[in-house]
């Protein structure tokens, strides 16, 4: 099947724009890091949404144009719907928000967590374009950036599974390698404080049931200076590297129960059935310590019942077995 050139161009530019955002962010000395990332990444999302909308509309260009009513040239009172024109007399395309609205009208499910994350980045972009931001909130912005990239990769794999993103380096450098100041400064301007309040509100509205998309992804990096190897916090072991995890850490890393996985699979896959095949797959998953964890319901009780919890990466395994919707 022949691929529409406009659609392919939009998709390619979306990926290239995100790669450009990441490349600039990862430069060791770049003074306009967060602002440039927000501008390019939002541009990337807008192109991706328009590409999807164009495809769902059978490649009709009006689907991504901003339309308005105009009087017919023959002088009749009736009006005709035509694309709005910009100053250079070219058709104006729709905004990112309008793209989301039209996609939903087409029946496309767009995660609320994704929308909240994008609008937090849009606010940063708007501040950068129309006024200025402060570098004091670099840690918070990178948390948005991590979520932005994770969400982007997730959605492209849903919409265009043939696109192989493994050939690209979709990651942000840890902030500790980029800037020694990994904590936000205590003294904030009113503008930065207002933006942080806006960002915290978006994060507080996160739907924890949506495991595929995130508003922001937390960063917790620390280095301790020590003169001995004991200070590294890990040691070699022939059976692997032991890592101490708190109950809170385990809950974050393995948030899903068997029932959670089953319920999500019913809406994620078109050919899913809760049958013996599924139970066999899950049995193998339980043997993978990276995907599952057996946790005592009462950690202080040695005789407590044990329940298995699963990591979100379980979907990479199940995606190989079932066809996504």
Q: Which of 46-50, 168-172, 282-286, 302-306 holds the top average pLDDT?
A: 46-50
Dump strand ranges (E) for the chain. 67-71, 79-83, 292-296, 306-310
pLDDT value of position 191: 56
Residue 299: which pLDDT band, with cuts at 50, 70 and 90? low
What is the pLDDT at residue 124? 78
Strand 292-296, strand 79-83: pairing:
unpaired
- Tens of pLDDT, residues 137-147: 667 777 788 88
Cα–Cα distance measured from residue 246 to residue 230, given in angstroms and rounded to the nearest whole number: 20
> With 50 as the cut, is the pLDDT of residue 34 above it?
yes
80-90, pLDDT tens digit by residue? Answer: 788 898 899 99
pLDDT band at 50 (very low <50, low <70, confident <90, very high): very high
Tokens of 215: 């508003």
pTM value > 0.75: no
Q: What is the 3-state secondary structure (H, E, C) of 254-289?
A: CCECHHHHHHHHHHHECCCCCCHHHHHHHHHHHCCC
Confidence of residue 131 (pLDDT cuts 50, 70, 90): low
Over the stretch 164-203, which tens digit does the pLDDT of each residue have? 777 776 666 554 444 434 333 333 445 556 655 666 666 6
Reference 127, options 199, 51, 19, 216; nearest CA is 199
| Sole residue written with tokens 């395309």 | 93
Other beta carbons less than 10 A from residue 52's beta carbon: 26
Q: Kindly state the average pLDDT of the residues 70-85.
A: 74
Regarding predicted confidence, which is higher, 230 or 22? Answer: 22
Q: Which residues contact 101 (CB under 8 A, 6 or more apart)?
A: none
State the average pLDDT over residues 38-48. Answer: 93
Which of 33-42, 85-94, 127-136 comes out lowest in average pLDDT?
127-136
The number of CA neighbours under 13 Å toward the Cβ of 202 is 28
Cα–Cα distances in Å, from 22 out to 27, 117, 167? 9, 17, 15
What is the rounded distance in angstroms from the CA atom of residue 244 to the CA atom of residue 35?
A: 37
Query: Which is higher by pLDDT, 152 or 238?
Result: 152
Residues of the chain with pLDDT > 70: what percent? 69
Question: How many whole angstroms separate alpha carbon 309 and alpha carbon 289?
Answer: 11
What is the phi/psi pair of residue 33, to 5°?
A: -60, -60
């Amino acid at each position: 099947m022949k691929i529409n050139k406009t659609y392919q161009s939009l998709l390619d530019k979306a990926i290239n724009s995100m790669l450009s955002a990441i490349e600039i962010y990862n430069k060791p000395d770049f003074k306009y890091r967060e602002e440039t990332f927000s501008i390019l990444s939002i541009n990337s999302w807008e192109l991706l949404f328009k590409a999807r909308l164009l495809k769902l509309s059978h490649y009709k260009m009006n689907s991504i144009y901003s339309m308005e009513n105009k009087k017919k040239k023959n002088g009749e009172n009736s009006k005709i719907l035509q694309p709005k024109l910009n100053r250079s007399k070219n058709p104006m395309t729709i905004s990112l928000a309008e793209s989301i609205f039209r996609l939903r009208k087409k029946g496309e499910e767009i995660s609320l967590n994704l929308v909240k994350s994008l609008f937090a980045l849009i606010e940063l972009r708007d501040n950068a374009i129309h006024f200025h931001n402060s570098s004091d909130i670099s840690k918070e912005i990178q948390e948005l950036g991590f979520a932005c990239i994770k969400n982007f990769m997730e959605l492209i794999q849903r919409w265009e599974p043939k696109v192989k993103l493994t050939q690209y380096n979709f990651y942000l450098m840890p902030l500790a390698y980029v800037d020694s100041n990994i904590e936000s400064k205590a003294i904030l301007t009113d503008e930065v404080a207002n933006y942080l309040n806006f960002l915290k509100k978006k994060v507080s509205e996160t739907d924890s049931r949506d495991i595929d998309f995130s508003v922001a992804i937390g960063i917790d990096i620390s280095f301790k200076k020590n003169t001995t190897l004991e200070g590294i916090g890990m040691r070699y072991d022939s059976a692997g590297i032991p890592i101490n995890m708190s109950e809170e850490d385990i809950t974050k890393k393995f948030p899903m129960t068997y029932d959670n996985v089953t319920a999500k699979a019913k809406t994620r896959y078109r050919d899913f059935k809760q049958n013996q095949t599924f139970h066999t797959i899950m049995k193998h998953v339980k043997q993978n310590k990276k995907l599952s964890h057996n946790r005592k319901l009462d950690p202080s009780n040695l005789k407590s019942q044990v329940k298995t919890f699963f990591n979100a990466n379980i979907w990479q395994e199940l995606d190989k077995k079932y066809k996504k919707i």
